[in-house]
Amino acid sequence: MVTPEQLSALATQMGESTLLSRTGGAPSLAVGMAGVLSGVFSGATVALWYHFAIMFEALFILTTVDAGTRVGRFMFQELAGHLWKPLGRTSWYPSIVFSSAVIASAWGYFVYQGVIDPLGGINSLWPLFGIANQLLAAVALCVGTTIIIKMGKLRFAWVTMMPLAWLAAATLTAGWQKVFSSDPALGFLAHARTLAGSANPDAARLIFNDRLDAGLALFFMAIVLVVIAASAKEWYMVAARKKAPHVHEAPFVQTALATE
C-alpha cells in the first residue's frame, strides 16, 4: 500500500504539488512510465518523462474521442439513411452537422454526468472501455474483410476473418457476462440488485450507473452484431457472384519514383 508520505515524495520528485485527483491516471501509469523511461534514457529527469507521459495519455484520450466520434457519425448516417436517404449522404452538410451533434451529445452526456455525479462520468464509462474498444476493432476488421473481398481477393479474406471471429466471440461473450453474470463483482445487473434496499446513501446513483452501463453494453453488442450480419451478407453476395464487387477506395497509382 502506498502511504500519503510516499505520494507526497513522488509528487515532489515529479515536479508536482500533488498526484491525487489528476486526469490521466497520474499516480499510476504516468509515474510508472516515467520510472521506466528515466531508467532507459539517461540525461533527463524523472519529472520530464512524467510530463511526457501525461501529454501522451491526454493525446491518446483526445484521439480516441475524435476517432470514436467520426466512426459513430458514419455509422449513424448509414443507419439513418435507411429512414431518410438524405441523412445517409456523407457529403450533405446538414446531415454531417446533425449526425455529429447526435454523437457528440451522446458522449457529452457522460462529461456532464461526471460533473453532477462524482460516481458517474469516467467512473461509469471505464468498465465499458475494454468492451467498446475491442468491439470497435471488430467493426474495423469487418470493413477490412469487405474491402478485401470486393477487391476480388477472396483467397486473402481469411487474414482478417480469423481475428474477427476470435475477437467477436471473445468480446461478445465477455460483454454478455458483464451484463448478466450472477456474480455482483462481475455483472452490472447483479451488482445493482445487491444495492437495492441498501443503506448506502449513494445506492440510487450506483444502481442507475450499473443499469446505464448494462444498457450501453447491450447496445454496443447489438450494433456490432448488425454490422457483422450485414457484412457477412455482402461477403456471400460477392463470393457467390450474385453481386458485382465494387470498391470506393482510391485506385492504385504507381509512384513516380518507380519509373526513375
For residue 72, the one-letter residue type is: G
The mean pLDDT of 246-250, rounded to a whole number, is: 72
1 has a pLDDT exceeding 70: no
CA 147 to CA 67: how far, in whole Å?
20
Choice among 129-143, 148-162, 202-216, 246-260 with the minimum mean pLDDT = 246-260
Choice among 45-59, 144-158, 202-216 with the minimum mean pLDDT = 45-59
- Determine contact, residues 131/167, Cβ cutoff 8 Å: no
CA 218 to CA 16: how far, in whole Å?
41
CA atoms within 13 A on the CB side of 13: 17
CA 27 to CA 35: how far, in whole Å?
12
Which residues, 6+ apart, have CB-to-CB distance to 88 below 8 Å? 77, 78, 80, 81, 82, 95
43 has a pLDDT exceeding 70: no
> pLDDT: is 233 or 50 the higher one?
233
pTM: 0.72
Choice among 34-48, 123-137, 144-158 with the minimum mean pLDDT = 34-48
160 has a pLDDT exceeding 80: yes
| Helices marked H in 14-121 | 31-40, 46-80, 93-116
So what's the pLDDT on residue 144?
92
So what's the pLDDT on residue 249?
67
CA 164 to CA 135: how far, in whole Å?
10
- Determine contact, residues 179/214, Cβ cutoff 8 Å: yes
Per-residue confidence at 27, pLDDT binned at 50, 70, 90? low
Cell of 30: 504516468
The mean pLDDT of 72-85, rounded to a whole number, is: 88
